[in-house]
Amino acid sequence: MPPACATPWRVHRCRRGIFAVALVAAVSVPARAQDAAARTDEGPARTELPEVEIVAERPHGSLRAPGSETTVVEANRFAGEVRSVAELLATSPGVSVHALGGPGQAATLSLRGASADQSAVLLDGIPLQGPGGSAVDLATLPATLLDRVIISRGVLGAQFGAGALGGAAELVPRAPGNDAFRGGATLTAGSFGSFGLAADAAGALRDGTGAVAAVQVDRTAGDFTYQRQLTPEIDNAPWFDQQRANADARRVSALARVAQRISPASEIDLLLQGSMGSRGLPGPEASITPLSRELDASGLAGVRLKGVEGSAVYAMRAWGRSDGVELRGASALGSCTDGTADCPRIPQSSSALRLEAEGGVPVGSAHWLRSGIAAGGDFISGTESGRRRRAIVSASLADDIEIGIVSLHPAVRFDAVGKQLGASPAIAASASPFTNGALAPLELRAGAGLSFRSPTFSELYLRQGGLAPNPDLTPEHAFSFDAGLGWRARALTVRAGAFWSRYRDLIVYEQFPPLAVKPFNVGAARIAGIELQAVAALPYGFTAEAAYSFLSAENLRPGRLEGHTLSYRPPHRLFVRAAHRGDRTEAYAEANFTASMPRNQFDTAFLPSQLLINAGAGARLAGPVWLDVEAKNLLDDRRLQDLFQYPLPGLSLAAIVRVRL
Please report, for the chain, the start and end positions of each structural domain, with discontinuous segments joined by +: 3-660
What is the architecture, at CATH level 2, of domain 3-660? Answer: Beta Barrel (2.40)
Structure confidence at residue 43 (pLDDT): 45
The pTM of the full predicted model, rounded to 2 decimals, is 0.89
pLDDT at position 555 is 92
**Segment-wise mean pLDDT, segments of 10 residues, the chain, 661 residues:** 36 34 39 38 47 53 92 92 92 92 90 92 92 83 90 97 95 85 94 95 89 95 93 87 95 95 94 95 89 94 96 97 91 85 88 96 95 95 77 97 95 95 97 92 97 90 71 94 96 97 88 70 93 96 97 92 90 98 96 93 90 97 96 96 88 96 85
Question: In sequence order, which residues have a C-beta less than 8 Å from that of residue 69 and are 6 or more positions away?
Answer: 94, 152, 153, 154, 445, 447, 482, 484, 495, 497, 499, 531
- Can you give the pLDDT at residue 513? 66
What's the pLDDT at 35? 40
| CB-CB contact of 300 with 126 (8 Å) | yes
Q: Contact 118/453 with Cβ under 8 angstroms? A: yes
Q: Which of 602, 482, 491 is nearest to 541 (CA)?
A: 491
What is the amino acid identity at position 396?
A: S
Answer for the pair 424, 412: CB distance below 8 angstroms, yes or no: yes
At position 52, the amino acid (one-letter code) is V
User: Which candidate, 58, 261, 70, 90, places its Cα nearest to that of 612?
Assistant: 90
What is the pLDDT, as a whole number, of residue 354?
97
What pLDDT, in 10s, does the model give residues 446-485?
A: 999 999 999 988 888 876 656 678 889 999 999 999 999 9
Rounded to the nearest 10 degrees, how much is the dihedral formed by the CA atoms of 478, 483, 487, 490?
20
